[in-house]
Amino acid sequence: MTTVIETIDTLLVDLPTIRPHKLSMTTMARQTLVIVRMRHSDGIEGLGEGTTIGGLAYGPESPESIKRNIDTYLAPLLIGQPSGNINTLRARMARHTRGNMIAKSALETALLDAQGKRLGLPVSDLLGGARHTHLPVLWTLASGDTHKDIDEAFQRLDDRRHCDFKLKIGANAVDDDVRHVAAIKAALGDRASVRVDLNQAWDERTAVRGIQALQDAGIELVEQAIPAREHAGLIRLSRRFNVPMLADESVQDARDGLDLACAGFSGAFALKLAKSGGLYGVLELAHVAQAAGIGLYGGTLLEGTIGTAASLHAWATLPEMAWGTEMFGPLLLEDDIVTAPLEYHEFGVDLPRLPGLGITLDEDKLAHYSRG
C-alpha cells in the first residue's frame, strides 16, 4: 500500500535569546520558529522548521506568513500525495506557488525526516552520505559592546566552544564600527579568526572606505557589505581587496551563483537552506560554487535545533567548507524544544546519526513555548 501524507500542522514557537542580538536592521530578544509536523499514513511523523530573523526586518517572509502560507496554500498541495517521491513533491510546490522559500524548506525538511525514519537512515545518507561527522561552528559577537564582546570571545575560546568569530556591524557610523572590530581583533590576536557581517548596510562608496580599514585591521572575511541586488558592485569589491567578500543575500540559489561566478565574482557563498528552498536547492548552489572555485560557508537564519540539524546533514555531504559554518542558533536560545540537544564541543558540533534528522520533540517544552 502506498504511504501518503495525511496531515500537516504548523506551530509558532517563541524562544527567548540568552542576550540581545544586535544586527544592522534590528535587535532580537527572542526568536520565533515555525515548526512543521507532517504525519503520514504509515504512522511516521516528519519534522521541519522555517525560521527568519526579526519578523519582517530581514526578508519578505515573516513567521506568521510562513505559517499562513503553509496552512493555506502549500499543505493542500501535499496532503493526500504519496510520501516517498520527494522530487515530485518539490516540483509540485514549485509549479503551483511562487517564492516562499523558507516555507518550502520547512516542508522539504519534514519530508526528508520522515523518509529517513521510514528507511532507518539519517538524512545525510539520503543525500549521498556524510563526509564529516563533526563540523566547525563559529560564534557571532553581537552585543554591541566592545568589552562584553571581548570577554564573550575569550570565554568561548577557553571553553573550546568556538575559535572563529563574526561581528554584526553596520548599524553605527563606519569609523565607530571599525574601531569596535579592530579592538576585538587586536585583543584576540592569533587565537581566533574574526569576520564581519554588514547585512547590506553600506553603499559601495562607504564599503570601499570601510573594507580597506577592516582589511588593515586583520579581518579575514567581509559578508554582504552592500545591497543584495548590486551584483556588479559586489564583484568590484571582490576584485579590489585581498580580504574575501562573502555573498549572502546576493546569492539565493544556483542561478544566482552561476550569474555571479560567470560575471567574475571571487570570494565565497553563504549557503542557507531557507534561501534556496531546502536541502536539495542549497546543495545545487554548493555544486555550482565548487565548479567555479568559490569557497563555501554554512550560514544560518538563527534556526533552532530542527533547522540547524537539517543544515548540518546538508553541509556534512560536501567535501569542504572553506569558511566553516555558523550553526550556533540553538546556543543563542535560553531553552530548547527537543529531548536531546545537539552536541557542541571542540570548536564544532556533531552530526546527528539517528534516522531522519535524529531529533525528537519535547512535547512539554513545545506546548510551553508555542504561541496561542
* 144 shares a domain with 108: no
* 149 shares a domain with 37: no
pLDDT in the model for residue 144: 86
pLDDT in the model for residue 230: 97
Q: Is 365 an annotated catalytic residue?
A: no
| In the chain, % of residues over pLDDT 90 | 94
Write out 136-196 in H/E/C secondary structure: EECEEECCCCHHHHHHHHHHHHHCCCCCEEEEECCCCCHHHHHHHHHHHHHHHHHHCEEEE
* 100 shares a domain with 140: no
For residue 318, pLDDT beyond 90: yes
pLDDT in the model for residue 8: 98
- The pLDDT-based confidence of 22 (bands split at 50, 70, 90) is confident
* 241 shares a domain with 101: no
In the sheet that holds 164-168, the strands lie side by side as 139-141, 164-168, 193-197, 222-223, 245-247, 267-271, 295-298
Q: Is 223 an annotated catalytic residue?
A: no
As for how many domains the chain has, the answer is 2
* 77 shares a domain with 138: no
pLDDT in the model for residue 143: 86
- Amino acid symbol at 237: L
- Amino acid symbol at 166: K
* 251 shares a domain with 150: yes
Q: Is residue 355 part of a domain?
A: no
For residue 159, pLDDT beyond 80: yes
pLDDT in the model for residue 321: 94
Give the domain range for residue 291.
126-350
The pTM for the full model equals 0.97
Average of pLDDT values for 93-115?
98
Average of pLDDT values for 355-370?
98
Q: What is the CATH number of the domain that holds 185?
A: 3.20.20.120
Active-site residue identified among 166, 168, 272, 275: 168
* 306 shares a domain with 184: yes
* 57 shares a domain with 140: no
Average of pLDDT values for 166-193?
96
Task: Quote the CA–CA distance of 234 and 153 in Å, as a whole number.
Answer: 29
Average of pLDDT values for 28-40?
96
